[in-house]
Amino acid sequence: MSDIYLDNAATSFPKPPAVTQAMLRYMTGVGASVNRGVYASAQDAGMTALLLREELCRLFGHSDPAHCVLTPGNTMGLNMILRGWLRPGDHCLVSSMEHNAVMRPLRDLEAAGVSFDRVPCNGEGYLDPEDVRRRIRPNTRLVLLAHGSNVSGAVQDAPAVGRICRECGIPFALDGAQTAGHREIDFEGWGLSALSVPGHKGLMGPSGMGALLLSPEFARNLTPIITGGTGSASDLETQPPYMPDRFESGTPNLPGIYGFQAAAAFIAQTGTAALREHEALLTARMLAQLRDVPGIRLAGPWERLDRAGVISVDFRTADNALAAARLEQEYGILTRCGLHCAPSAHRTLGTFPHGTVRFSPGWFTTAEEIDAAARAVAEIARAQR
């Protein structure tokens, strides 16, 4: 029995072969750092980083690759936004569906005098953009939302929230963890100030890589939380003010940059529309089969529109952790159970503290694998009744 990997919301697997090949090419044939040498392999590294920034900017509707900061991951990008922007006395708005990559830094900042409010989402995980407007205060300095929920799959109406933030003159930041690569994100069209994405989920690159896209105005006023050597302006002991060096200190993850660049090229070649359609078809296929299964509850929307490929099942008559263990041991189906680092989302959906079993297909998932997963859910739910 070969495994059926349905945990792409945690990290996508497998990766396109070009990703591994690019990382191997770096490790065996390049080896040089970026910004720190003029020899040919160092130029190769610099060019690869630039190609990656350009590809990500094309993908996310940003016109300046210098404002695409390469990060060690999405959690770092979100910390850079929150800790670099909010000051004591500031107020921040988030949704009730946020991941702990947002909530934990916010809790730290709360102890330092920052306040925040959660815009409540409905039982499927959606917020009403007008609720964002209603909660804006005179000292609100940032609105930050998970574009897609890693628990229910709900995708928020980011363009509508962007319009409200623009009207109110408040920076709007998006956590693209569950949408980047397979759904449209239009940085400039939606009026974003910041977008943080992981490289290893829908973008299909290696872990330990991410990107933080910034508007020039937001970047100018954002304080870097890490400073250090950049290979540039080395006569100065202060951080260079220009982009992207201002936010990129230390020798970066170069194998990661090579892999991420190959992954971004794969996404561009495949097309976001095709990726989204594949995800939507598989999600709809799974939901159609789960709909009549007694003994389970879906924590999220049944409809296919405005939802990502995250299917969270709450076994009413079985322990979710035991159900996930049976899925692996008896069916070879790999899922993630529990709270998915998002306790507030589970409170919103009514699945706290027991959590759910999450199925998340990816680009390499087949219809047959989805059918096998749906059958397994039905069997486990039936056996427990």
- Residue 60 structure tokens: 């996310």
List the x/- string, 258-287, binding to ligand PMP by CB under 6 A. ------------------------------
Nearer to ligand PMP, 18 or 341 (CB): 341
If one asks whether residue 248 binds ligand PMP (CB under 6 A), the answer comes out as: no
If one asks whether residue 99 binds ligand PMP (CB under 6 A), the answer comes out as: yes
Residue 232 bridge partners (DSSP): none
Nearer to ligand PMP, 177 or 275 (CB): 177
List the x/- string, 175-194, binding to ligand PMP by CB under 6 A. x-xx----------------
Binds ligand PMP by CB under 6 A, chosen from 49, 146, 264, 337: 146
Phi/psi for 337 (5° steps) reads: -115, 165
Burial letters 25-59, b for 16+ CB under 10 A, else e: bbeeebebebbeeeeeebebbbebbebbbebbbeb
- Residue 255 structure tokens: 């194998």
Read off the amino acid at residue 40. Answer: A
- Residue 300 structure tokens: 């999220």
CB atoms within 10 A of CB 14: 12
Under 8 Å between Cβ of 140 and 170: yes
Applying CB under 6 A, the span of 33-41, 119-127, 170-178, 237-245 interacting with ligand PMP comes to: 170-178
Closest CB 36 distance from ligand PMP, rounded Å: 26
Closest CB 86 distance from ligand PMP, rounded Å: 18
Under 8 Å between Cβ of 191 and 134: no
Q: From 358, 365, 366, select the one nearest 10 (Cα to Cα).
A: 358
If one asks whether residue 209 binds ligand PMP (CB under 6 A), the answer comes out as: no
Evaluated on CA atoms 133, 135, 138, 141, the torsion sign reads: negative
If one asks whether residue 75 binds ligand PMP (CB under 6 A), the answer comes out as: yes
Binding-site size, ligand PMP (CB under 6 A): 12
Closest CB 200 distance from ligand PMP, rounded Å: 6
Q: For residue 65, give the DSSP letter.
A: G
Nearer to ligand PMP, 146 or 298 (CB): 146
Closest CB 2 distance from ligand PMP, rounded Å: 25
Nearer to ligand PMP, 46 or 148 (CB): 148
If one asks whether residue 74 binds ligand PMP (CB under 6 A), the answer comes out as: yes
List the x/- string, 302-341, binding to ligand PMP by CB under 6 A. ---------------------------------------x
Applying CB under 6 A, the span of 25-33, 127-135, 173-181, 238-246 interacting with ligand PMP comes to: 173-181
Binds ligand PMP by CB under 6 A, chosen from 46, 171, 181, 198: 198
Binds ligand PMP by CB under 6 A, chosen from 16, 46, 73, 162: 73
Q: From 122, 125, 116, select the one nearest 143 (Cα to Cα).
A: 116
Residue 92 bridge partners (DSSP): 116, 142
Distances (CA, A) of 285 to 10, 278, 309, 360: 21, 11, 11, 13
Closest CB 146 distance from ligand PMP, rounded Å: 4
Q: Which residues contact 138 (CB under 8 A, 6 or more apart)?
A: none
Binds ligand PMP by CB under 6 A, chosen from 96, 150, 152, 365: 150
Closest CB 319 distance from ligand PMP, rounded Å: 23
Q: What angle do CA 365, 339, 71 make, to 5 degrees?
A: 70
Q: Which residue has the tokens 């916010």?
A: 106
Applying CB under 6 A, the span of 67-75, 220-228, 279-287, 295-303 interacting with ligand PMP comes to: 67-75
Burial class (CB in 10 A: 0-12, 13-18, 19+), 142: buried
Q: Which residues bind ligand PMP (CB under 6 A)?
A: 73-75, 99, 101, 146, 150, 175, 177-178, 198, 341
